[in-house]
Amino acid sequence: MTLRDISPGHSCVVRSIDAASALGQRLRDLGLMPGRTIKVLRNAPLKDPMELELEGYLISLRRAEAQAVAVETNHE
Amino acid sequence: MSEGRLRVALAGQPNSGKSTVFNLLTGARQHVANYPGVTVEKKVGHFSHDGKRIELVDLPGTYALSTFSLEERVARDFLIEERPEVVVQVADATTIKRHLALFLQIAEMERPLVLGLNKSDVARKNNISVDAAGLAEFLGVAVIPMSAKTGQGRTELKQAIVRAVDRGPAKLRIDYGPLEPVIAKVEALLMDIGGLPDHLPRRWLAVKLLEDDAVLREQFRDRGTETVPLLAQVERFREEIEKEHGKDAGELIGMCRYRLAAATGDKFLTARNPRQARLTDRIDSVLCHKVFGPLILVGVIYLLYELAIVQGYRLTTYTWPLLEGLKGMLSVILPPAAYIYDPVVRSLGLWFIDSVNALLNYIPVFLVLFSLVAFLEDVGYMPRMAFIMDRLFKRFGLHGQSTLPMVLGGVYIGGCAVPAIMSTKGIPDERARLATILIIPMLNCLAKIPLYILLVHAYFPAHKGVAMFFVATISLFMALPVAKILSLTVLRDRDTAPFLMEMPAYHLPTIRGVLGRAVERTWLFVKKIVTVVAAVAVVVFVLLQYPGLSAVQQDDYTGRGRAALARFVAAAAPTAVGERLTDEARVMELIAFSERYKDARRRVSSTEASEAVNARFAQLDPGFYEIVMRGKKSPAARQLDRAFGALERERQTIRREIRAARIDASFLGQIGRALEPVTQWAGFNWRINVSLLSALAAKESLVATLGAIYQQDDEGGASLEERMKATETGFTPLHALALILFMVLYPPCLATLMTIKLQTASYKWMLFSLGYQLGLGVVVASLVFTGARLLGLTGLQAMYGFFGLMVLVTVAVGCIDRAPSRAVAGAPADGCATRA
């Protein structure tokens, strides 16, 4: 499952990031790392990009890029 | 490193409050933007502490110190090449973990470091506590809790900066675990490379080489043959690591760093209730709402226009008299007007001040516009705007962050391409950024509006509303397809970047911050732009005035002038003042007196005030006053006034004819005629060509030139619309439509071209922008004009038809699903696509 599949209001834990170079670096720069919990807050009005919360701050990224983040959901 | 002077670099991530800290330390006017990457240039400020003079350099805000983006490269190069004595990192205490990752990267460069924990007050309010002392001990640097907004921690930070020099680099060493032996081997290999600067830590170089840092690799390659074995060995190490760990060495190294940052954060930070994120989330649930979000966005843009363009423009009615006063002062200094042929210095001087005033007139609009934009930036709304618009703009090869530039450029009506293009700096995606830069000049800048209004009023009087709506929106429906086409063609090979954007916490801006930035940006505009436009005004003046009149024409005008003068002198001879009015010089005194009088009367409105003006002029020269005064006067004076009126009218006529004849014979006039065979397909005759050419430097000139061309022959108050219609008898609404469309696509003005050069750092894009818009303008105007002619459409029908067509084209182009998707995913392609 990737971050792209998580619907708004749900949380997940990052398992791995399948992106080297720029995107992987950028994601890490913003704190998206294996083990981190991410909450998907909402999608943009046209469904893309999506807004996430992690570690007390908010970021947004396009769905195409969210696909590079493999996640697993918390047991709810 | 002279005694008593320190060079200090200020680093930090976007939205850490770095710029506020810069202001706090140096007191300089500088700005804080809540929009990733607004500060790209380095700003420098000074302050003194403890007998040391400190030069503080504000580095661009970056999330890391790799070399993927221009800002990061700028920041890193500064740390390597300028070797600041101390580096201060500003971190947001509320989100410290993320900032620690950057801290570790700076620390690896082994410069003395100080960590400023900004927004500590906000952190406290949100129940986030950071153990600064523990952190300081762990990191081996001074950690200063502070709040740039309230000024708390200012002295402590200065103190820490001065002491950091003796304290030396951070002692912390990142443990790269299984990679350590490899790093040690590369370090050993580096020892054999001669001539490496001593200040570059070998360990840092080794780590960077293993990370496959493109810039560093190139630098080593440029050193020559001795680095070839080293680079080959590094490549072998990288392959081994990949084989062993199943991961790229760069990724492993990055992970170690980020893991340490996260662990450090966990150790020294206790967050009980991250209220800040909750509040921001709650606001976002409205501002980014499916329905309300776009509505609010439209409302915000509408307010921006209403306040800046409509209300701000109203302010110019108060400032314009000041500029007129400036012109008045200059006209006094310049050599006085002559009877027929004014001295060139005078004409040039007045032309010059008119051109500059046309731009300075926008200052109130800019001040209001920039204040509002600064407000929106500081509040944190800009990234939300990008968030809402990204999907739509992406379809046209643009970016969510293209929203602000397009709003500034005049997406509806009224804007300016210069600030718009300046604001594209923050767009991380190179391709989208260039596409944005290239389409902004097609939007409706303020200077295009006068022509639109003129043409709409003159040729679409019964459909003003519809026509203005067409003008306001057609530019967008041409700009969007063009952006898409550009990004699929000329921009195809440009780098793209992932859309990863921080949505900063909302906060209330300070009045000082907002106004300071508005003033700063306006000043930048005045300084950079007005000087260029002023220089070009001189060139256009020459092109419009020379080679000038033929000797025959000149003699003819002189003769007519003399005849009129003689008639007046003869009429004046029998009167009392007649003996004073014997030659041209004397009569000029009367003309000047009359003009001053008329001018003074124009400035006053009340009866009392005009009485006072009368009394003043009566005292100044009773003889002259009797002729020019308004109101009851003796029959003799009345007769003389009539004769004088005839003289003045004849003089005006002659001077006007001379001006028209000059333009007619000018270089620009000749070019305009030479272009007629081409432009006839768009319906432009040479007169239109001349006015279009004169507007190349600044579009403000266009209507002014039209005014000069369509001079009226009598003193009547015919408006320019009426005069234009009277002269261009063959002109139809279709002609006007073609001209409007050409104006939409008209090449960027000089100021804009300068800005394009600045923002793209290339003359190539500047010239491209000039060329493609000119070409497109001619083609579109010709197709619409000639096409509508052949189809027998009226101007209005052609307008509807073209609008419908462009809307269809826009929709169709938007549906092309990014053909080069391989390139859109360009950056991650090597990772996410192949590894998945």
pLDDT of B635 reads 79
Residues of B numbered 744-773 whose beta carbons fall under 8 angstroms of chain A's beta carbons: which are they?
Answer: none
Instruction: Judge whether residue B39 has pLDDT over 60.
Output: no
Token representation of residue A35? 């083990």
Chain B residues near residue A59 by CB distance under 8 angstroms: 500-503
Q: Which of B277, B390, B832 sits opposite A49 (nearest CB)?
A: B390
Q: Which of B167, B196, B215 is the last residue of a domain?
A: B167
CB contact under 8 A, B383 and A27: no
User: What is the structure's pLDDT at B800?
Assistant: 94
Which of A28, A36, A37, A71 to mutate against chain B (most B CBs within 10 Å)? Answer: A28
**B592 pLDDT more than 90:** no
Query: Is the predicted pLDDT of residue B798 greater than 60, yes or no?
Result: yes
Asked which of B342-356, B368-382, B529-543 is least confident by mean pLDDT, the reply is B529-543
- Report how many Cβ contacts below 8 Å link chain A to chain B: 164
* Band (B576; pLDDT cuts 50, 70, 90): confident
Q: Which of A31, A48, A68 sits opposite B828 (nearest CB)?
A: A68
| Pair B39, B70 in one domain | yes
Question: Is the same domain home to B119 and B15?
Answer: yes
pLDDT at B104 over 70: yes
Predicted model pTM: 0.80
Is B675 in a helix, a strand, or coil? helix
Is there a domain that residue B643 lies in? yes
Q: Which of A28, A29, A32, A43 should one mutate to test binding to chain B, selecting the residue with the greatest count of B CBs within 10 A?
A: A29
Contact between chains at B499 and A57 (C-beta distance less than 8 A): no
Decide if B825 touches A, using CB distance below 8 A.
yes
Cβ(B658)–Cβ(B340) below 8 Å: yes
Indicate whether B264 belongs to any domain.
Answer: yes
Cβ contacts (< 8 Å) between A44 and chain B: which residues? 288, 293, 387-388, 390-391
Secondary structure (H, E, C), B537-581: HHHHHHHHHCCCCCHHHHHHHHHHHHHHHHHHHHHHCCCCHHHHC
Provide the b/e sequence for B221-239 (b: ≥16 CB within 10 Å): eeeeeebeebeeebeebbe
State how far residue A4 is from chain B, nearest Cα, in angstroms.
13
Chain A residues in contact with B385 (beta carbon < 8 A): none
Task: State the pLDDT at residue B435.
Answer: 95
Are residue B126 and residue B189 in the same domain, yes or no?
Answer: no
Nearest to B116 by CA among B32, B25, B5, B1: B25
Are the C-beta atoms of B650 and B557 separated by less than 8 Å? Answer: no
How far is CA B432 from its chain centroid? 17
- Classify residue B385 as exposed, middle or buried by CB count within 10 Å of its CB (0-12, 13-18, 19+): buried
A60 contacts chain B (CB < 8 A) = yes
Is residue B157 domain-shared with residue B205, that is, in the same domain? no
Q: Which of residues 78-117 of B touch A (CB under 8 A)?
A: 94-95, 97-98, 101-102
Among B68, B258, B281, beta carbon nearest to A53: B281
Residue B261, min C-alpha distance to chain A (Å): 10
Looking at the fold, whether B132 and B11 belong to one and the same domain comes out as yes
The count of other CB atoms within 10 Å of the CB of residue B172 is 17
Which is more confidently placed, B588 or B276?
Answer: B588
Q: Is residue B28 predicted with pLDDT exceeding 80? A: no
Give the distance from residue A74's alpha carbon to the nearest chain B alpha carbon, in angstroms.
Answer: 20
CB B389 within 8 A of CB A46: no
Q: CB–CB of A55 and B98 under 8 A?
A: yes
The DSSP secondary-structure symbol of A67 reads: T
Residues of B whose CB is below 8 A from A42: 284-285, 288
Domain final residue, candidates B633, B654, B675: B654
pLDDT at site B147? 92
Ordered DSSP codes for B759-797: HHT-HHHHHHHHHHHHHHHHHHHHHHHHHHHHHT--HHH
Can you give the pLDDT at residue B787?
A: 94
Cβ-Cβ contacts under 8 Å for A41 (sequence gap 6 or more): A8, A9, A50, A51, A52, A53, A58, B281, B284, B285
Name chain A contacts of B387, Cβ cutoff 8 Å.
44, 49, 51, 60
268-327 of B, contacting A, C-beta below 8 A: 271, 274, 276-277, 280-281, 284-285, 288-291, 293-294
Please give the average per-residue pLDDT across B105-132, as a whole number: 89
DSSP class of residue B458 equals H
Please determine, for residue B625, whether its predicted confidence score (pLDDT) is greater than 60.
yes
Nearest to A44 among B102, B259, B391 (CB): B391
Mean pLDDT, rounded, for B609-620: 83
Residue of chain B whose alpha carbon sits nearest to that of A1: B836
Q: Is residue B659 part of a domain?
A: no
Which secondary-structure segment (H or E) carries B407?
Answer: helix B403-409
Query: Across the interface, do B388 and A24 touch by the CB < 8 Å criterion?
Result: no
Residue B418's pLDDT is what? 83
B2 pLDDT above the threshold of 80: no
State yes or no: pLDDT of B420 exceeds 80: yes
Place of tokens 């493109």: B214
What is residue B589's predicted lDDT score, i.e. its pLDDT?
Answer: 82
Residue B134 tokens read as 């523990």
Give the angle B218-B223-B229 at the CA atoms, nearest 5°. Answer: 85
Q: Is the dihedral of CA B272, B18, B369, B320 positive or negative?
A: positive
As a three-state string, the secondary structure of B701-715 is: HHHHHHHHHCCCCCC
- Whether B96 has a pLDDT exceeding 70, the answer reads yes
Per-residue pLDDT averaged across B404-410, rounded? Answer: 87
Angle between helices A21-29 and B249-268 (to 10 degrees): 0
CA-CA-CA-CA dihedral for B693, B694, B698, B699, to nearest 10: -70
C-alpha–C-alpha distance, residues A61 and A52, integer Å = 8
Expressed as residue numbers, the domain containing B189 is: 177-273
CA distance A75 to chain B (A): 22
CB nearest B94 (choices: A33, A56, A64): A56
DSSP B185-202: HHHHHHHTSTT--TTS-H
List Cβ neighbours of B342 (8 Å cut-off, separation of 6 or more). Answer: none
What single-letter amino acid sits at B360? L
- Can you give the pLDDT at residue B438? 95
First CA to last CA distance, chain A: 16
Same domain, B258 and B123: no
Q: Is residue B745 part of a domain?
A: no
Whether the per-residue pLDDT at B394 is higher than 60: the answer is: yes
Taking each helix axis as running N to C, give the angle between helix B292-304 and helix B382-394, from 0 to 180 degrees, rounded to the nearest 10: 110
What does the alpha-carbon distance between residue B628 and residue B609 come to, in Å, rounded to a whole number? Answer: 17
- Return the higher-pLDDT residue of B290 and B574: B290
Q: Residues near B605 by Cβ (< 8 Å), separated by ≥ 6? A: none
Q: Report the residue of chain A nearest B827, measured CA to CA.
A: A22
> Is residue B289 included in any domain, yes or no?
no
* pLDDT tens figures, B739-751: 999 999 998 988 8
DSSP SS3 for B48:
strand
Instruction: Give chain B positions within 8 Å (CB) of A29.
Output: 63-64, 98, 101-102
Q: Which residue is closest to A55 within chain B, CA to CA?
A: B95
Q: Does pLDDT of A50 surpass 90?
A: yes
Give the distance from residue B235's alpha carbon to the nearest chain A alpha carbon, in angstroms: 16
Residue B71 shares a structural domain with residue B206: no
B142 and B232, same domain (yes or no): no
Which of B211, B216, B210, B12 is closest to B106 using CA atoms?
B12
For residue B3, pLDDT beyond 70: no
Which one is predicted more confidently, B362 or B284? Answer: B284
Indicate if B87 and B200 belong to the same structural domain: no
Highest average pLDDT, of B211-225, B298-312, B473-487, B686-700, comes from B473-487
Which residues are within 8 A (CB) of B438 and not within 5 positions of it... i.e. 6 or more apart? B482, B483, B486, B765, B768, B769, B772
Rounded to a whole number of angstroms, the distance from the CA of A48 to the nearest CA of chain B is 6
CATH superfamily of the domain spanning A3-73: Ferrous iron transport protein A (FeoA) (2.30.30.90)
In angstroms, rounded to a whole number, what is the distance separating the alpha carbons of residues B100 and B264? 8
- Of A21-30, B373-382, B392-401, B675-684, the least confident: A21-30
Alpha carbon distance B387, B406 (integer Å):
15
Length of chain A: 76
Locate tokens 């939300």: which residue?
B384
B258 touches chain A (CB under 8 A): yes
When the pLDDT of each residue in chain A is averaged and rounded to a whole number, the result is 86
Lowest pLDDT segment from B131-135, B275-279, B322-326, B405-409: B275-279
Burial class (CB in 10 A: 0-12, 13-18, 19+), B104: buried
The H or E element spanning position A72 is strand A69-73
pLDDT range class, residue B827, cuts 50, 70, 90: very low
Question: Is the model's pLDDT at B828 over the cut of 70?
Answer: no
- Among B251, B274, B827, the residue with its CB nearest the CB of A56 is B274
Please check whether residue B184 touches A, CB under 8 A.
no
Percentage, residues of chain B above pLDDT 90? 27
Per the domain annotation, does B489 fall within a domain? no
At B253, which CATH number? 1.10.287
Whether residue B217 lies inside any domain: the answer is: yes
Query: Min CA distance, A40 vs chain B (Å)?
Result: 11
Whether B758 has a pLDDT exceeding 90, the answer reads no
Instruction: Give me the pLDDT at residue A75, please.
Output: 56
Q: Say how many C-beta atoms besides its own lie within 10 A of residue B828's C-beta.
A: 28
B164-168, B225-229, B370-374, B788-792 — most confident range: B788-792
CA-wise closest residue to B430 among B71, B815, B775: B71
- 8 Å CB contact between B393 and B818: no
**Shared-domain flag, residues B39 and B99:** yes
Q: What is the structure's pLDDT at B272? A: 66
- As a whole number of Å, the end-to-end CA separation of chain B is 51
Give residue B184's pLDDT.
93
Nearest to B170 by CA among B102, B263, B253: B102
Copy the structure tokens of residue B761: 């750092």
pLDDT digits (tens, 9 = 90+) for B218-271: 888 888 788 888 899 999 999 999 899 888 888 888 888 888 988 898 889 887
Å from B280 to nearest chain A CA? 8
Cβ-Cβ contacts under 8 Å, B392 against chain A? 46
B70 interface with A at CB cutoff 8 Å: no
Measured distance CA(B836)–CA(B822) in Å, rounded: 15
Predicted confidence (pLDDT) at residue B708 exceeds the cutoff of 70: no
Clarify whether residues B160 and B39 are in a common domain: yes
Band (pLDDT 50/70/90 cuts) for residue B769 is very high
pLDDT at position B832: 30
Q: Are strands B269-271 and B128-130 parallel, antiparallel or unpaired?
A: antiparallel
Q: Which of B273, B300, B322 is the last residue of a domain?
A: B273
Q: Which residue has the tokens 């826009």?
A: B810
List A residues 7-46 in contact with B (Cβ-Cβ < 8 A). 18-31, 33-34, 36, 41-42, 44-46
pLDDT at A55 over 90: no
Q: Encoding tokens for residue B488?
A: 């699929």
Question: Cα(B302)–Cα(B296) distance, rounded to whole angstroms?
Answer: 10
Separation in Å, CA of B355 to nearest CA in chain A: 45
**Most trustworthy range by pLDDT among B507-516, B540-549, B739-748:** B739-748
**What is the average pLDDT across B44-53?**
86
B40, B130: one domain: yes
Instruction: Write out chain B residues lying below 8 Å of A20, CB-based.
Output: 248, 250-251, 830-831, 835
Domains in chain B, number: 3
